[in-house]
């Protein structure tokens, strides 16, 4: 078994939470994610061959990828994300060199905290590092997004890969997904702290439902564009929307209404964070979840139970599902010093009402890609 200490570099990229701005990155909206200290770490060294050899700290599997046949690994159970990432990096014009990689994923799979983005981003950064290349984090994020779309079949936006690559310690990112302009905002929550809870429900339908939601927003855009001078759904103001909403069939109207209002909530949330108005942030977080539940319909029984239970605790001023939805993690704003009591209550309340046991993760807001030379 390869041991981490035999590698030349340690390259890591983060999982993320999204504070607010859900399902609007692919509509050209602004989102407010933050990178987490839960990371995928790739230990890497060049091996002088034409092969990328991959092993894992948590799996017995070993996979060898031929650099010239990277299209052929879509069907792999493990190693497909790495193959897709390497392929996209190469297609973008970068040199790949043969290497040995040990992958150590501390982002829980299927948690909605973007383990896949962390794997893709760290793999590309590791490949660039071992090839002696200075890389641009945004380009790494864009290639990682292509890998997710073209290789994993999830037609995702840029939020996760951007956050995974470009995160900064202690900062949220107000990311404009149309222009990729990013404003870093300190996450100073005053008398509150963020609690992350996984509802631990497997969500296998998520990818197809995700793509379905995305197509619905594209259909809504195609209709509204005939009436309005817009380049994406996120351009629409609530006033414009109230005038044009009747043009849309009911389901598309619900989806578009979520997008238009969620874009407003992000602006208000950023303002609330700048002003230190955490109670307002909590209310916006609640409204975001309610809109995902009622209009966008990407929550589900278990996440809704978890959010309801959280909101019933007096220490909690806001709770919502974060990420793509249909399962995964919630974030809750909880009074400082009461998180332990809150978690205890929440896990018990959830277990009573569902057939799953939830888990709380303890993570800091951290840097995105990090590279260390180890020998």
Q: Greatest CA separation found in the chain?
A: 64
The 10 Å Cβ neighbour count of residue 41 is: 21
Instruction: Write the DSSP assignment of 102-155 as a string of letters.
Output: EEEE-SPTTSSS-HHHHHHHHHHHHHHHHTT----HHHHHHHHHHIIIIIT---
**Segment near ligand GLA (CB under 6 A); pick from 5-13, 16-24, 61-69, 186-194:** 16-24
How many whole angstroms separate alpha carbon 200 and alpha carbon 363?
17
User: What 8-state DSSP symbol labels residue 113?
Assistant: S
How many whole angstroms separate alpha carbon 110 and alpha carbon 116?
9
22 scored as a contact of ligand GLA (CB under 6 A): yes
The 10 Å Cβ neighbour count of residue 287 is: 19
The binder of ligand GLA chosen from 323, 326, 360, 366 (CB under 6 A) = 323
Q: Quick check: 339 and 331 in contact, CB under 8 A?
A: no
26 scored as a contact of ligand GLA (CB under 6 A): yes
Site map (CB under 6 A) of ligand GLA, residues 98-127, x = contact? ----------------x-------------
With a CB cutoff of 8 Å and minimum separation 6, the contacts of 59 are 78
Between residues 23 and 320, which has the closer beta carbon with respect to ligand GLA? 23
The reply to whether 207 belongs to the active site is: no
Between residues 21 and 318, which has the closer beta carbon with respect to ligand GLA? 21
Q: How many residues bind ligand GLA (CB under 6 A)?
A: 12
Find the shortest distance in angstroms from Cβ 337 to ligand GLA: 31
Between residues 37 and 155, which has the closer beta carbon with respect to ligand GLA? 155
151 scored as a contact of ligand GLA (CB under 6 A): no
From 25, 160, 198, 235, the catalytic residue? 160
Catalytic residues: 160
Applying CB under 6 A, the residues found at the interface with ligand GLA are: 18, 22-23, 25-26, 114, 156-157, 159-160, 323-324
């Amino acid at each position: 078994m390869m041991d981490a200490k035999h590698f030349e570099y340690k390259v890591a990229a983060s999982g993320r939470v999204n504070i607010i701005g859900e399902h609007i990155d692919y509509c050209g909206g602004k989102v407010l994610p933050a990178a987490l200290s839960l990371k995928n770490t790739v230990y890497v060294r060049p091996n002088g061959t034409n092969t990328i050899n991959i092993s894992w700290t948590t799996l017995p599997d070993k996979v060898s990828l031929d650099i010239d046949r990277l299209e052929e690994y879509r069907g792999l159970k493990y190693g497909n994300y790495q193959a897709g990432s390497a392929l996209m990096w190469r297609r973008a014009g970068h040199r790949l060199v043969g290497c040995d990689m040990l992958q150590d994923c501390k982002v829980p799979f299927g948690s909605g905290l973007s383990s896949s983005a962390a794997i893709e981003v760290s793999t590309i950064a590791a490949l660039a590092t071992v090839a002696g290349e200075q890389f641009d984090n945004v380009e790494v994020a864009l290639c990682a997004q292509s890998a997710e779309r073209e290789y994993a079949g999830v037609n995702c936006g840029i939020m996760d890969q951007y956050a995974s690559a470009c995160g900064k310690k202690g900062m949220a990112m107000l990311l404009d997904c149309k222009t990729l302009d990013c404003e870093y905002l300190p996450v100073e929550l005053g008398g509150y702290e963020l609690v992350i809870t996984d509802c631990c429900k497997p969500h296998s339908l998520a990818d197809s439902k995700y793509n379905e939601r995305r197509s619905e927003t594209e259909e809504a855009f195609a209709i509204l564009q005939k009436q309005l001078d817009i380049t994406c759904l996120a351009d629409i103001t609530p006033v414009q929307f109230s005038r044009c909403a009747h043009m849309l069939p009911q389901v598309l109207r619900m989806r578009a209404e979520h997008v238009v209002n969620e874009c407003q909530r992000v602006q208000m949330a950023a303002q609330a964070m700048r002003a230190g108005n955490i109670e307002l942030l909590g209310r916006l977080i609640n409204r975001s979840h309610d809109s995902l539940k009622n209009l966008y319909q990407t929550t589900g029984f278990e996440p809704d139970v978890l959010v309801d239970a959280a909101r019933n605790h007096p220490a909690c001023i806001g709770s919502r599902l974060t990420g793509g939805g249909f399962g995964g993690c919630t974030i809750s704003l909880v009074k400082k010093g009461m998180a332990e009591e809150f978690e205890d209550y929440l896990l018990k309340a959830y277990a009573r009402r569902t057939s799953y046991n939830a888990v709380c993760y303890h993570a800091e807001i951290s840097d995105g890609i990090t590279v260390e030379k180890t020998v």
